[in-house]
Each structure stands twice: as C-alpha cells, then as structure tokens.
C-alpha cells in the first residue's frame, strides 16, 4: 500500500445545471499541475442537493457517469462523488467511484435527510460498501450518514482492518458546520483511520447556504486540517506509515466486544 495523493474540489454548484457543473469541474481538474491518485467531489456535484430526481436523475451509465469515466481515463486517476441515479423505477443518491480502467463501484446513501424531504423522493441504500483501490480499503459515505457512527464502524478481522479511509461527500449547511467539524474528527478517532470530508460552498436553489470546511482528520488530532470557506482545489497526501505506526502502537479496535 503506497501513499495516496488526494485532490478535493471545494466548489460552488450551479443549481440543477448539469452541463455547467461538469464544465467548471473539468476546467478545475485540468488546471491541476501535480500528479494525483484520487479526485473527490461533493454530494450531488452535478446538480446541487436537488429534490427533483424525476427531472435531473440519470440512468446508471448516463451522461455524468460517462464524464467521470472520461476524466478517470484522461487523468489516470480515480474520481468519486455522488449524483442522483434512476434505476428500475427508483431514485438513489448514489456515490460513484470510477477508476482509470473503467471499473465503477457504488454506494447508495443509507440515511436520507428527512429534514429536506430526501426520504420522500429518494430510496435509501441497504448495505455498507468497502472499495478497494490501490490496496487502500475505502468506506464511502454521503453527508447525513456522518451522524450515524454505526454505518462507519471499523473492525479487525484476522489481524486486518476492514478499511483505512472514510470519505464523506456532502452538501452540509453552514448553520450546522460545528457538528460537521467535530463528527469528522470523532469518526477518525473511533475507527483508527483517515477521514476525508468534502463539502460545497455557496447557496443552492433552496436558499440553503454552505461554507465548505472540507477537512482531513486522523486518529491523532495534531495531523488534522480544515481547508476553510473559500472555493479552492486542495491537494494533500495520505501517508501509509502514519496509519500503520499508529495502529501498531494503539490497537484499540482489537478490544471491540
């Protein structure tokens, strides 16, 4: 397992405008000069947090998925984020993880956000997913899932950790950003892993405001980074030795009953 070079795109999102969002994201990606292994985008990065999936959802191999495949191939990097998907007559807030070889792994948001009526228009996912990429085990999560620690509980089986990294892609409101900051840190500490939270900025079509605060968290808080409230492309590296050294020194999860 080698170090993983990460790109976070903390951006405003054009409300329910797929073409505009993909165009601006593509421009930002092509302006990155350094090498990277994984691009992480916010929740519903192509529309904003829309409760109108009948109009703006796509089939499982629709336009946005094909765009992600193109980006993955051309950058030789994986790319991930969530979009609205229609499948078998149902709608899902689906996390897509697309690799340069065209492989797609998915996770459907389990905890739909009832305060915004997400539970009325989207179906909930039913299973936890672990993604294998470059020998990293990644646990994908979406926004409101952050409030439910049981969905992100790590464990050791045959001396191997179930996952090394949790990714939360979100449209997390400015009014509740304190919870966002604390819960990201808590998930890292309790699961002996890295945690990345990617959030949008700006205001959506429902007049909901977002102030970013995308972040990197680890079980040792002195390594944590919050990336602020402005639109930016963020690059950093996940260090395998930091993770393995911590787990050897503090094998807390072996004591789970």
Q: Which residue is catalytic, options 43, 58, 118, 185?
A: 43
- Quick one: how far is CA 16 from the chain centroid? 20
Q: What is the pLDDT of residue 161?
A: 97
What are the mean pLDDT values of the chain's consecutive 10-residue runs (257 residues total)?
Answer: 96 98 98 96 98 97 97 98 97 98 97 95 96 98 97 93 98 98 98 98 97 97 95 97 97 91
On whether the pTM is more than 0.95, the answer is: yes
Domain coordinates in residue numbering, the chain? 4-255
Topology, domain 4-255: Nitrilase/N-carbamoyl-D-aminoacid amidohydrolase (3.60.110)
Query: What is the predicted pLDDT for the residue at 1?
Result: 83
- Whether 128 is catalytic is no
Comparing CA positions, the residue from 80, 85, 81 lying closest to residue 57 is: 85
Residue 120 known to be catalytic: no
69, 80, 118, 143: the active-site residue: 143
3-state secondary structure 92-114: EEEEEEECCCCCEEEEECCCCCH
Is 66 an active-site residue? no
Cα-based distances in Å from 17 to 24, 204, 228, 256: 11, 11, 25, 46
Closest CA to 209 of 180, 182, 181, 176: 176
Active-site entry in 58, 69, 80, 109: 109
DSSP structure class, residue 77: S
């Amino acid at each position: 397992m080698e170090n993983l070079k990460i790109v976070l795109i903390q951006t405003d999102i054009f409300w329910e405008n797929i073409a505009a969002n993909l165009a601006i994201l593509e421009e930002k990606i092509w302006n990155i000069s350094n090498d990277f292994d994984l691009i992480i985008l916010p929740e519903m990065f192509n529309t904003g947090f829309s409760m109108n999936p009948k109009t703006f959802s796509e089939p499982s191999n629709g336009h946005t998925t094909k765009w992600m495949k193109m980006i993955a191939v051309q950058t030789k990097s994986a790319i991930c984020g969530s979009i609205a998907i229609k499948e078998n007559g149902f709608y899902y807030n689906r996390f897509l993880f697309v690799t340069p070889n065209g492989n797609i792994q998915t996770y459907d948001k389990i905890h739909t956000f009832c305060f915004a009526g997400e539970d009325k228009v989207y179906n909930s996912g039913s299973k936890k997913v672990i993604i294998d990429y470059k020998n990293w085990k990644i646990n994908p999560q979406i926004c409101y899932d952050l409030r439910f620690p049981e969905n992100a509980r790590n464990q050791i089986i045959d001396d191997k950790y179930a996952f090394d990294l949790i990714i939360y892609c979100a449209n997390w409101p400015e009014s509740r950003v304190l919870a966002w900051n604390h819960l990201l840190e808590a998930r890292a500490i309790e699961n002996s892993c890295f945690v990345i939270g990617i959030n949008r900025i700006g205001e959506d079509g429902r007049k909901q405001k977002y102030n970013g605060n995308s972040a990197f968290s680890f079980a040792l808080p002195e390594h944590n980074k919050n990336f602020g409230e402005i639109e930016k492309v963020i690059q950093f590296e996940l260090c395998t030795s930091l993770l393995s050294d911590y787990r050897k020194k503090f094998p807390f999860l072996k004591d789970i009953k």
